[in-house]
Structure 1
């Protein structure tokens, strides 16, 4: 079976567009990176991120993006809830980076439970309004601009981009483990994560 060129082009466009949106540093990526470096529940974390993106992209393609666009109050509620979560997470990361006693929290503490890891990645994903704007509204709109069935090939390409990125980020992070064998490296990482969380949280709260 020969796949028409226009469908392949739609899939490649979806792949490139999806990667362009997903690769940007954010709370979700920072958490996946941290889990990958620690080697904790990496498969579950990557799977949740990829599946969540797939669901949201599919929702945008079938038209839920239009519904959210017509109900701005929903976006506002999600924005403030997400901002509160990001700021709280940033405070925890800042404590680990600043307090001498917290230096071992990242490098030597017991592993994060699967339940806690799943709850955190779900919150970082579904309480982030930028995720809805990028996947449901933006990708959904671009997908629906494709002719006929090409919109699903575009969506499939975007979903593949999500799988590739989160897999590379989560499973590839182990290459950084030698660097993070030193406690000070964890302090630096937590400091960077705190800055990212604070920045995203404040931008989200201000609607920027």
Structure 2
């Protein structure tokens, strides 16, 4: 028989994966960095570390603060929508450039600082991360006796997921030696980012 604490951790792992596996701005960015093989470790660390901090805040009771301050979520919602729309425009520009420029862009190095700032913005300007990770997961964990084991399971799920797509995406690199593959990827990213921005504006 599985100990109740281990069962809680496994439940948290499954719950955590269900919240972060969906295609979104953060996952698309990590995937692109992984394919490029550029600053992957810092990007994975930021995403997983942010999730760990947010999960801990939610289980620690910060979700109640967010629920009591809906204006804060509204501000983050519009700021996040503006950022996502801007990122969508940049991705669309990359997708519509000539093949030569696509190849150059795919191999060009981006500064570590700029990459980290983009990753932080995609993470912390997304209101869904507060509603899902802090409020939903935090509320679920607090309804159980082993709430911190649920939190631990969710934290491990975040580390496994981001490390998996970040470092695993490098296996797709041979496919992306062709400029048309970068066109498709950046076009898909532009659509995802624009759709997310629109969904935020529409509430």
TM-score by length of 2: 0.97
Equivalence for 1:46: 44
- Is 1:156 the equivalent of 2:152? yes
Work out the CA distance in 2 between the residues paired with 1:61 and 1:106.
42
The residue matched to 1:62 in structure 2 has which SS?
helix
Give the root-mean-square deviation of aligned CA atoms.
1.1
Equivalence for 2:88: 90
- Is 1:172 the equivalent of 2:168? yes
- Offset at 1:104? 3.2
Query: Aligned pair count?
Result: 201
The C-alpha deviation readout for 1:111-150, integer Å capped at 9, x for no partner, is: 1110011000000000000111111001100110111xx1
Equivalence for 1:198: 194
The residue matched to 2:78 in structure 1 has which SS?
helix
- Is 1:26 the equivalent of 2:36? no
Work out the CA distance in 1 between the residues paired with 2:151 and 2:180.
42
- Is 1:107 the equivalent of 2:103? no
1:35–1:41 Cα contact (<8 Å) kept: yes
The C-alpha deviation readout for 1:80-123, integer Å capped at 9, x for no partner, is: 00000000000000011012264235323x21110011000000
Work out the CA distance in 2 between the residues paired with 1:23 and 1:106.
27
Work out the CA distance in 2 between the residues paired with 1:184 and 1:105.
13
1:95–1:102 Cα contact (<8 Å) kept: no
| Gapped regions of structure 1 (runs ≥ 5) | none
The residue matched to 1:154 in structure 2 has which SS?
helix
TM-score by length of 1: 0.94
Equivalence for 1:134: 132
| Alignment of structure 1 residues 48-63 onto 2, 5 Å | 48-63=46-61
